[in-house]
Amino acid sequence: MNVLDRHEEIPGLKNEYLDKIKLVVNRHTDKVTLLALTKTEFNIIQDEFGNMLDITVTCEHIFNNKHLVVTAVVSRRQI
């Protein structure tokens, strides 16, 4: 059973981001890059997965008074 089988859907988070995060959490890859995140989506990822993943923002931008996390790299937390 995969770690994220219980996370079928997370309100406010696009399935494409969740699918990429599942790859990291379930050890199919070491890291993924998420593009065009909103600050809200970034916060959801931190809240849901911050205890098992390292999340590094590599580019941020404010557009039309909206804070965007343009690029974030999600990697498995090293123990």
Distance (Å, whole) CA 49 – CA 51: 5
CA distance 62 to 77: 28
In tens, the pLDDT along 49-65 reads: 989 899 988 888 887 77
Q: Enumerate the domain spans of the chain.
A: 3-76
CB atoms within 10 A of CB 69: 22
pTM, two decimals, is 0.77
**What pLDDT digit, counting tens, does each position of 6-45 carry?**
557 899 999 999 999 999 988 899 999 998 888 889 899 9
